[in-house]
Amino acid sequence: MDNSAAITRESEENQRIQQDLDRKAKSKNLLNIIIPYIGLGFLFVFFIIVTQGKFISTINIENLITQSFSLTIIAIGASFVYAHGGTDFSIGATCGCAQLVCGLLIVSGYPLWIAIAACILVTILGASATAGIALGLGVPVFIGSMCVRTTFNGILQYVAESGEVVIDYKQYMFMNSTYLKVIILVVFLAVGYYLFNYTVFGKYNKAIGGNPVTAVQAGVKHKKLIFAAYVALGLCVGVAAVFTLFRTGKVTGTTGSGVEFNMMMAIALGGFPMRGGERSRLSAAIVGAVTITVLANGLQLWGLDPATINCVKGVLFVLIVALSYDRSDGKLIS
């Protein structure tokens, strides 16, 4: 009688059922991970067909790299923030302001490296302010980033009102070289991947996202780590801002607007858990960023106007979120 449980559990039929369940759980997990890739692949095929191949012409591939460069770099930084359960609505505004500072310095004749350093400094300052307000005052980071967003937007609009800042980007053609971008991208990806998966920094951020109290009780200096994650995001936004400026050549009152929403869409599209935690994957954020870019590029090439593109993006967003958003949290399992 004492062994009856063992017999039932270990009977052939029950072992088969258990294996079946394990397999199902595994494939469900796998499916969640690969759905974003399938979506991206589908978009590629779709756009190749509707644009009769123009989508994969050499020129457009180069375009795609240039266009996805900024968002991908930002996605790498944002992964650390989203991994600990944070968010940032201010990156669009700080990105615009940073370009403004960079442009003004170049126009006033400062050396290029100073302008670039200033640009990156501005975004790091912005992200630090967001984290500083949230951590220092003990308010949700959402509020901190809204304060920063409003302030930086105000500065941008105030200055840009007195006239667009236009730089002579032909002088700096090397800043638009695809090779340079690819090299920078590879370096950022390698460092980001290493930090995210193999170091205390990445692991602690994921632990804070999983359960902040547990992380603190394990001796994690959570404020320091959260702050560092925002600095990393600021750095990435700064680099993206520099290259965006040299691509567009000018700064207006709307420069940078919408970057934060593209970022959030990328996070959701790639299957990055919105509350962070252990299931956060850097690759998810990057796939999301590439998907967003491919979508915008493909729809434009197909001949849709920007307003329609936004509508399509919105509808698609709902579709993909419906497919991939993890709703399992909070369900009763006892």
Partner 1 sequence: MGKELLLSAQGVCKAFGPTRALIDVDVDIMRGEVRGLIGENGSGKSTFSSITAGALKADTGKFTLKGNAYSPQNMVEAQSGGVSMIIQETGVIPGINVSSNIFAGRLDRFTKMGFLDWKKCHKAANEALDKIGAPEIRGEMMIDSLNFEDKKIVEIARAMSSDPDLLIIDETTTALAAKGRQLIYNLIKQMREANKSILFISHDLDELMSVCDTITVLRDGVIIDTLDKENMSIELMRDLMVGRELVGSYYREDFDGSSSDEVVLEARQISLRPYFKNIDLTLHKGEILGLGGLSDCGMHEIGKVLFGFEKTLTGEVVLTEKGKKVDSTTTAVTHSIAYVSKDRDKESIILNSSIQSNIVLPSLRRFSRFLGFIPRKSESGLTSAQIDQMRIKCRNGKQLVKELSGGNKQKVVFSKWLGTEADILILDCPTRGIDVGVKADMYKLMMQLKKQGKSIIMISEEQLELIGMSDRIMLLKDGSVTKELMRSKDLNEREVINYII
Q: Name the residues that contact partner 1, by CB under 8 A.
A: 1-2, 4-6, 8-9, 14, 17-18, 21-22, 24-25, 195, 198-201, 203-204, 206-207, 210-211, 213-221, 277-279, 329, 332-334
Nearer to partner 1, 6 or 59 (CB): 6
Least distance between partner 1 and beta carbon 272 (Å): 14
* Distance of alpha carbon 252 from alpha carbon 32, whole angstroms: 40
Is the C-alpha dihedral spanning 149, 150, 154, 155 positive or negative? negative
Q: How far is the CB of 277 from partner 1 (least distance, A)?
A: 5
* CB nearer partner 1, residue 96 or residue 192: 192
Q: Which is nearer to partner 1, 276 or 298 (CB)?
A: 276
Least distance (Å) from partner 1 to the CB of residue 290? 27
**d(Cα 326, Cα 83) in Å, to the nearest integer?**
15
- Alpha-carbon distance 87 to 263, whole Å? 10
* Assigned token pair, 249: 């050549």
Quote the least distance from Cβ 267 to partner 1, whole Å: 17
Distance between CA atoms of residues 23 and 45, nearest Å: 30
Q: How far is the CB of 85 from partner 1 (least distance, A)?
A: 11
CB of 192 to partner 1, least distance (A): 14
Residue 223 vs 247, nearer CB to partner 1 = 223
Distance CA 26, CA 36 (A): 17
User: Which one, 137 or 218, has the nearer CB to partner 1?
Assistant: 218
With respect to partner 1, which residue has the nearer C-beta, 85 or 103? 85
Instruction: Tell me whether residue 42 or residue 194 sits nearer to partner 1 (CB atom).
Output: 194
Cβ neighbours for 293, distance < 8 A, ≥ 6 positions apart: 64, 67, 68, 71, 72
* Minimum separation from the CB atom of position 209 to partner 1 (A): 9
CB atoms within 10 A of CB 225: 20
Please state, in angstroms and rounded to a whole number, the distance separating the CA atoms of residues 269 and 318.
10
Half-sphere exposure for 40 (CA within 13 Å, toward CB): 20
Q: Are 90 and 145 in contact (CB under 8 A)?
A: yes
In this structure, are residues 57 and 209 in contact, taking their beta carbons and an 8 Å threshold? Answer: no
Tell me which residue has tokens 């809204």.
146
- The C-alpha angle 7, 10, 16, rounded to 5 degrees, equals 140
| Minimum separation from the CB atom of position 220 to partner 1 (A) | 7
Residue closer to partner 1 (CB basis): 224 or 258: 224
